[in-house]
Amino acid sequence: MSEEKLIHSEPEPHGKLSIIYQDEYLVAINKPNRLLVHKTRIAEEKHFFANRLLADQIGCEVYPVHRIDRATSGVLLFAYSPQGVAMTQSLFMKGEVMKEYLAVVRGFVAETGSTNESLVKHETGIEQTALTDYERLNTVEVAISVNKYPTSRYSLVRMLPKTGRTHQLRRHFNHMGHPIVGDTKYGDLRHNRMFEREWGITSLLLHAHKLTFIHPFSTQEVRLQAPLSPDFVKAMDAFAWVNNY
């Protein structure tokens, strides 16, 4: 599959979306890679959207509480009403939602760290503060030469974004010299092609793994967790990384 196809392809729905949480106010799914959250002006040609597919599946309107990139898989939260959206979004705005991502990146990342590099908003050119904490969970070195080195190194990283800027994790780790595997916009295309050739992995290895917050209506803690995407599981198996995260 070409890089252009990776960027522009969209998944056709096969069966139902995976619902990982549902109550009388909120519902969450495990969004597959390359599925848009909702219809936008810049993606008029697309046919499938998470909000419409979910609404058709459960038989009522849903409204996205937050966004994750089209290319990213994982936890995506919706509310059944505009009031539910407003109340839950306020938790995000106040920094009261813990977001945890998993990613496979090029190279060996430091065991722990954080980056507060500002990011320019594409639409306005305005710099925005952005903060990401991270923890390295595992590493691997494979005997495959991609560039000038005889081997290739990768890290499994837990990423904890404290802000929610556009493509924050993808941009931060690219700027750090550790682009996320499968990223066709900010990543290393040579490594992306190698992952496709060796293991049939064609999607972004960035997964919105967990979301934790206090329910705005019940005031109980909610812990959402989305199983890894099929391509992410392929990488875990290829590198003999135990999936216990």
Active site residues: 69
Rounded-to-integer distance, Cα 225 and Cα 238, Å: 23
Helix (H, G, I), strand (E, B) or coil at 138: strand
Q: What is the DSSP string of 190-222?
A: HHHHHHHHHH---S--EEEEEEEEE-TTT--EE
Task: Please name every residue paired with 135 in a beta bridge, in sequence order, or none if there are none.
Answer: 112, 158
What the block records as the tokens of 54 is 């979910």
Beta-bridged to residue 73, according to DSSP, are: 207
d(CA 207, CA 159): 10
Instruction: Quickly tell me which residue has 């972004």 as its tokens.
Output: 204
Question: Which residue is it, tokens 């900010």?
Answer: 186
Q: In the structure encoding, which two tokens stand for residue 27, read together?
A: 């519902």
Give CA–CA dist 126/67, Å, rounded: 20
Do residues 221 and 136 touch, judged by C-beta distance below 8 A? Answer: no
Q: Spell 47-72 as b/e; 16+ CB within 10 A means b.
A: eebbbebbbebbeeebbbbbebbbbb
